[in-house]
A and B are shown apart, each in its own frame.
Chain A
């Protein structure tokens, strides 16, 4: 794995000088292990690795053993070793798969700090890097942020190699291509892009490469850094890059012609282009029978509308359009509001904010105090507020249904943006009633229409309308009917089921 091209300072011929300068550069760090040996009674060598990043058993079995074996070489081997010791070591002696030369100080550090072991030979301006990376990693676990009932239960980890292997394991095809772009002047984080060469649109792929290359930042710690750099438009509440910790979601995207961006150090893999409808779909939609999936998708779209509109509709109708309510419902609501000291808007705002606070507390608090918060939250909001007559019961119902609906939206990024817009619509509803909501929704739709994700219209296939792609947007038709890949971002190779 070539991370950095050699540039700048080169290695010295003297082994001790090299070791000295490396030690100094790392500030005599105690986790730098330097093992000095003499090979064949003649060649001084030094093996350098970082304790904890390199796999000690591998160093033991593959490197140190091979090196000590050099003492018992047959005569013809010994002569070839003496002629070109580095080449001999690289090509014959060391039983390691990933091995290469290194001659610049910069690249030496990159490899050393990535977990490789470095073998330096006295008198040579070149060394060997030996891929023995073996840092401690979390094992592949269950997806926690996007759980499902049916479907694969593995999730990406923090290790980019593991993540790439999880994808490769599902697509056994040479056309699945991988590119690695190191990003971050300090962290030098590996950022990989993966795509299916014969399906992906060249234009989108080129766009991804250009945008990734344009990133200039010292560090990349999570996929969110990349997402903000590569999205089409920053001034929008809507996400235009999809992220998932589920390999099956990412693989399905790759097979539709999307590009996956895998970042070392985070289990969240990005997928572009991402359209509005994608954020309301889950991988499980494709594993269940199509009629069930369609019904559930409808429920999700309904929940989306509830999160967006329920509180503002309640405000608008109870403060401006009372004549629209059935008489008995009006009396019921009026009875509940008797004695409530706040206008409906303030009431709604208070409850929504309290709910958001509880939500945030629920995420951040230590697990052990979780129960206390939920008890206080339920009691304070659910009962006391109503009993004290500060909040009407109907408002609690509206806020609760909004809160629950927000969890039905499968993508957290979309859920958050909708909850944000909800407050704006509530304000409009409180000032102008249904008229305000209407204007707000019109502006929202116009805004959605201006969005693009890597050049693909965000609202497609709804606008611009694409009949064939309707098979998998609001509805999910049975697999045999979905002969083609979505055409919005896939013109090169659209046929999924070629046999008639």
Chain B
């Protein structure tokens, strides 16, 4: 009995003491990476990581220094590059909490799949960060811009994309897991938001810049990058991006405007939007039917329309419907004409409805897509006019 107990005790001790603390990392041994930027030149990856300095973000002391530091290195593969970072970084690079991944245009044109592989393969990295394409600027420089409000630039990018995604239709946020879904989905090519430096192209900003109210360098979203499979082929304009988001049903709220008969504007706040795509056959050929339902409030009224009149409201609704249809049509036609790649997922819709037909279509889908017929059905409603009805201008005149 004693020997058995002793044996068990010894086994437990060995188990705990010899294997214990396997892969243990204390919080202050980690270089917490908030953002990663990948550039490429001469077949070498230029990897830059933005590492948070926790003291500066959250400590009660100091805050005189920059909240992040950027470490960079060059290596033929990304995996090597990540390890090589320790040459300069005192702490182990910890990539679980990346908020944004910025890829340069060269990398994107070369194909994003192989770049994302390492980040997705690593089990500790959370797949909820946004992927951005740096437009007209190196990805590295995007990570070097200090931002007000949010102290960590990568986090600022994350939140501004997140917020825009919710309240501003032209911007679509794509997390890495949806990106992978889209890459692997048959009959669909991904679209990623672009980011660029606004105002001047300073290489670096110092913390003195934080003293400005209007910062000399800011980050801004510009357009949406269009991919064929995983390779960047071009950019959509803001309006095309807006149409894209309506079709993909990723708009939850945004703002738009209509022109009044007198040339002034009326702004609509879209409060709900829902789009459905269906596919039907017309003479053996697939046709995509997009039906959108949009509900909006009047956000701003410049002109002197009498919106107390239901007829006027109905005209406004009709104008809104027409406007949205044009938006989507232009977006689809532009993509069909310029890029000839199905970023809307029409192929996926056809596959869901007619799997057998899709099998025949799939091999030459990129040739078929530009000639695909798309039908639009838009249903717009104006729900609310806000605290006042007619414009103040009109009411001044009525007095």
Contact = CB atoms under 8 A, between A and B. Distances in A.
Interface string A313-331: 0000011101100010011
Interface stretch (A54-62, A100-108, A334-342): A334-342
Contact of A432 (B22, B59, B126, B152): B22
Contacts of A322: 25, 27, 30, 94, 96-97
B125 A323 contact: yes
Contacts of B94: 322
Interface stretch (B13-21, B172-180, B233-241, B272-280): B13-21
B28 A330 contact: no
A320 B24 contact: yes
A171 interface: no
Interface residues of A, number: 25
Given A332-B58, A335-B58, A327 B27 contact: no
A335 B54 contact: yes
B16 A431 contact: yes
Contact of A334 (B20, B32, B152, B155): B32
A337 B99 CA distance: 22
Nearest to A339: B28
A337 B126 CA distance: 22
A343 B54 contact: no
A343 B26 contact: yes
B23 interface: yes
A245 B55 CA distance: 52
A432 B19 CA distance: 8
A330 B94 CA distance: 12
Contact of B27 (A323, A333, A431): A333
A204 to B, nearest CB: 30
A427 B16 contact: yes
A434 to B, nearest CB: 12
Interface in B123-152: 124-126, 152
Given A327-B155, A430-B20, A337 B124 contact: no
Contacts of A343: 24, 26
Interface in B80-133: 94, 96-97, 99, 124-126
B102 to A, nearest CB: 17
A334 B55 CA distance: 8
Which of A334, A430, A431 has the most chain B CB atoms closer than 10 A to its own CB? Answer: A334
Given A323-B97, A327-B99, A335-B55, A340 B20 contact: no
Contacts of A344: 26-27
A344 B30 CA distance: 14
A169 B42 CA distance: 96
A331 B25 contact: no
A176 to B, nearest CB: 45
A331 B152 CA distance: 11
A334 B27 CA distance: 5
Given A332-B58, A334-B32, A335-B55, A320 B20 contact: no
Contact of A331 (B22, B52, B126): B52
A337 B58 contact: no
Interface in B36-54: 52, 54
Contact of A330 (B16, B22, B32): B32
B24 A338 contact: no
Nearest to A394: B27
Nearest to B25: A319
B21 A318 contact: no
B96 A431 contact: no
A397 to B, nearest CB: 15
16 contacts: A322-B96, A323-B97, A327-B99, A327-B155, A331-B152, A332-B58, A334-B58, A340-B28, A343-B26, A344-B26, A344-B27, A427-B16, A428-B16, A430-B20, A431-B22, A432-B22
Given A334-B32, A337-B28, A338-B54, 6 more contacts: A322-B94, A327-B97, A330-B27, A338-B55, A431-B22, A432-B20
Interface of B: 16, 19-28, 30, 32, 34, 52, 54-55, 57-59, 94, 96-97, 99, 124-126, 152, 155
